[in-house]
Chain A
Amino acid sequence: MMLRVEDLTVALPMRGQLVPVLAGVSFTLDRRDSVGLVGESGSGKSMTALAIMGLLPPGARVAGRVMLDGRDLLALPEPDLCGVRGRRIGMVFQEPMTALNPLMSIGAQVAEPLRLHLRLSRAEADARAARMLDRVGLDPARISPHRYPHQLSGGQRQRVVIAAALACGPDLLVADEPTTALDVTVQAQVLALLADLAAETGMGLLLITHDLGVVSQTVANVLVMYAGRVVEQGPTDSVFGGMAHPYTRALFAARPAESGARPVQIPGQVPDPLHRPPGCAFAPRCSRAEPDCGQQAPTLAGGGPHRAACLHPHAAS
């Protein structure tokens, strides 16, 4: 198994105390495999990605293990981590408008990891960056690598970010809401590009999104997260075929549907990490909540690959 995340737990300093924002996240991801993390804002999806990258904010406390080919990234010293980031693991961010350095040409930004990790000469790195830009759909004859980010559209910029993340041929790509900031028409193109590149290179894909439609089309396995915990996880078909956790169902019902059916809002908000209720964090918003839901936090139950953390799950339909 290439990536094995075990019991990943993160606490951040807030108002002078360490507040848990992520608890007990576990999953595995192999080459040619894909995992989707879904949930609302504040569910801990991005925190999971940053913890894997070793890019958590200063003062964060991390526990658990993030094993990459047998090495625990959480125990790795910073210089070794720099050799992993951009080389073994690439990352794509949500905001293409701000993710690129406005003072550097796009070619130079794609060439940067090549010069850093592969020690290529400037000419070699530039040539390879141009090929990489071509591969993500930015034909150097039409869009010169000497251009600057402000001369490109949002979708084009996201392609540059993807080219830079994949320049060194990583084994794993972490994509944090890669299409959220893009126009709807461009979203599908960028998603198709990511799927193509993953299939072509055989890299594993960890896709973070709040869009269930994206997940169902793109990834093999899915983790539904709520308030820093995984509430349901399993193969995508199985999870969407038999949603066991009320939160998964509520999230599904809340998505904008193409059929014209009105999205059903989930009442209330994700509790902030300073004020999480005891027991199941979703109980206050849950239509199926019973008194015992407030007593203890349920753990992921179920014998097979498809598991849900709920005391009163929906029966598989």
Chain B
Amino acid sequence: MTFYLLRRVAILLATLLAASIVVFVVLQVLPGDPAALILGTGAREDTLAALRHQLGLDAPMWLRYARWLGGLLSGDFGTSFTYHVPVAELVRQRVLVSLPLALFAILLSTAIAIPVGVAAAARRGGAADAGLMGVAQIGVALPNFWLGLLLILLFAVRLPWLPASGFPGWDAGLWAGFRALILPALALALPQAAILARVTRAAVIDTLGEDFVRTARAKGLSRPAALWRHAVPNALIPVVTLIGLQFSFLLAGTVIIENVFTLPGLGRLVFQAIAQRDLIVVQDLVVLLAGSVIVVNFLVDLAAAWIDPRLRRAGA
């Protein structure tokens, strides 16, 4: 297990490094001169050259990469030229919205989907299965922004229970911040729960047909005990993998929901930075998001190995 962990960590670091190189090279190759963008089209060539020198843009590519990577590792992400603040501070504020929102949504989605999927699998072919999967089918088809609007109409306009939009910041209190995230988390979680419930159902139906479930029943386990102790744990690997994918998406792919609820999250920051050609912000964010996807995948692999002893072999 120790060797397995060391191996996985080494792979993790190598992947992160590779991702940073790809991000850097791609953004260097793309057209667009930050100096020209900052100074405007009317700038004189010698002014541009002076600014490029000041920004370090005239250094060779490998040196610029090394400076950027060194900065990332020491927490200096550079300075946004549209916001005129350090990117690190910008990211910190946005992560404090996006990360709790993603965690909240994934917890909701998992808490709904696993019981629903297992219940449907245990009653496959029956009325309860058909009903639950019918609702899930609708959930899959619903766009989350539309669901978000419905939730606002119901819980913020018709019933004045929750704020319709905006984020007061965690300084306004834990509860005030949490309240602002309830509706967006629901809007994100329900369609994902629908997909996760269907995957859970299919995986549990597969394992319910396995011989070891029959062995468990022959040992005297009741149907629910055989289901929860033997069939469900064996169905978890595809479920955990999907949860990991969904969580990665939730970290940055929520720009539409952030717009519906006017939340200052990472998705909107990426969107705005791209629109304004704020290259250093784009570059930092893309590598951070790529890094978070890689780290989430790493955690999914660890969870899978924790669940299934067959995956703990060092070669796996």
Tell me if A103 is interfacial: C-beta within 8 Å of chain B: yes
Least Cβ–Cβ distance between B274 and chain A, in angstroms: 45
**B219: which of A103, A113, A148, A150 is its contact (CB, 8 Å)?**
A113
Mask of A85-113 contacts with B, CB within 8 angstroms, 1/0: 11100110101001111111000000011
Contact A112 B308 (CB under 8 A): no
Q: Which of A75-83, A136-144, A296-304 lines the interface with chain B?
A: A75-83
Contact B212 A98 (CB under 8 A): yes
Tell me if B315 is interfacial: C-beta within 8 Å of chain A: no
Interface residues of B in 257-316 (CB under 8 A from A): 307-310
Tell me whether A85 and B218 are in contact in the complex, defined as CB-CB below 8 angstroms, given that A98-B210, A98-B211, A99-B212 are known contacts: yes
What range describes how many residues of A lie at the interface? 20 to 34
Tell me whether A117 and B220 are in contact in the complex, defined as CB-CB below 8 angstroms, given that A102-B309, A103-B307 are known contacts: yes
Contact A101 B310 (CB under 8 A): no
| CB closest residue in chain A, given B126 | A58
Contact A82 B212 (CB under 8 A): no
Tell me if A53 is interfacial: C-beta within 8 Å of chain B: yes
Tell me if A165 is interfacial: C-beta within 8 Å of chain B: yes
Contact A95 B219 (CB under 8 A): no
Tell me if A161 is interfacial: C-beta within 8 Å of chain B: yes
Residues on A with beta carbons closer than 8 Å to the beta carbon of B307: 103
Interface residues of B in 188-246 (CB under 8 A from A): 210-212, 214-223, 230, 233-234
Contact A55 B215 (CB under 8 A): no
| CB closest residue in chain A, given B223 | A78
Residues on B with beta carbons closer than 8 Å to the beta carbon of A164: 215, 219
Least Cβ–Cβ distance between B60 and chain A, in angstroms: 52
Tell me if A220 is interfacial: C-beta within 8 Å of chain B: no
Tell me if A116 is interfacial: C-beta within 8 Å of chain B: yes
Residues on B with beta carbons closer than 8 Å to the beta carbon of A116: 219-221
Tell me whether A148 and B310 are in contact in the complex, defined as CB-CB below 8 angstroms, given that A99-B212, A100-B212, A101-B234 are known contacts: yes
Residues on B with beta carbons closer than 8 Å to the beta carbon of A117: 220
Interface residues of A in 140-197 (CB under 8 A from B): 148, 150, 161, 164-165
Contact A113 B220 (CB under 8 A): yes
Residues on A with beta carbons closer than 8 Å to the beta carbon of B217: 55, 85
Contact A83 B218 (CB under 8 A): no
Tell me whether A103 and B309 are in contact in the complex, defined as CB-CB below 8 angstroms, given that A93-B214, A98-B211 are known contacts: yes
Counting chain A CB atoms within 10 Å of each CB, the highest count among B212, B220, B222, B223 belongs to B220
Task: Tell me how many residues of B have a C-beta within 8 Å of chain A.
Answer: 20
Contact B216 A148 (CB under 8 A): no
Tell me whether A165 and B218 are in contact in the complex, defined as CB-CB below 8 angstroms, given that A98-B211, A99-B211, A100-B212 are known contacts: yes
Contact A150 B310 (CB under 8 A): yes
For the complex, give the distance between the alpha carbons of A113 and B230 in Å: 14
Contact B220 A82 (CB under 8 A): yes
**A102: which of B214, B218, B220, B310 is its contact (CB, 8 Å)?**
B310
Contact B220 A83 (CB under 8 A): yes
**A99: which of B215, B233, B234 is its contact (CB, 8 Å)?**
B215
Least Cβ–Cβ distance between B139 and chain A, in angstroms: 28
**B218: which of A91, A100, A101, A148 is its contact (CB, 8 Å)?**
A91
**A161: which of B215, B221, B230 is its contact (CB, 8 Å)?**
B215
| CB closest residue in chain B, given A90 | B218
**A103: which of B220, B221, B308 is its contact (CB, 8 Å)?**
B308
Least Cβ–Cβ distance between B247 and chain A, in angstroms: 23
For the complex, give the distance between the alpha carbons of A104 and B219 in Å: 15
| CB closest residue in chain A, given B217 | A55
Interface residues of B in 115-154 (CB under 8 A from A): none
| CB closest residue in chain A, given B236 | A103
**A86: which of B212, B220, B223 is its contact (CB, 8 Å)?**
B220
Mask of B3-25 contacts with A, CB within 8 angstroms, 1/0: 00000000000000000000000
| CB closest residue in chain A, given B125 | A58
Least Cβ–Cβ distance between B314 and chain A, in angstroms: 14
**B220: which of A87, A93, A99, A100 is its contact (CB, 8 Å)?**
A87
Least Cβ–Cβ distance between B302 and chain A, in angstroms: 16
Interface residues of B in 33-82 (CB under 8 A from A): none
Contact B210 A103 (CB under 8 A): no
For the complex, give the distance between the alpha carbons of A91 and B218 in Å: 6
Mask of A51-70 contacts with B, CB within 8 angstroms, 1/0: 00101000000000000000
| CB closest residue in chain A, given B310 | A150
| CB closest residue in chain A, given B213 | A101
For the complex, give the distance between the alpha carbons of A104 and B307 in Å: 10
14 contacts between A and B (CB under 8 A): A84-B220, A85-B219, A86-B218, A91-B215, A93-B211, A93-B215, A99-B211, A100-B215, A101-B216, A101-B230, A112-B216, A113-B220, A117-B220, A150-B310
- Write the residues of chain A forming the contact surface with B, with a CB cutoff of 8 angstroms: 53, 55, 78-79, 82-87, 90-91, 93, 95, 98-104, 112-113, 116-117, 148, 150, 161, 164-165
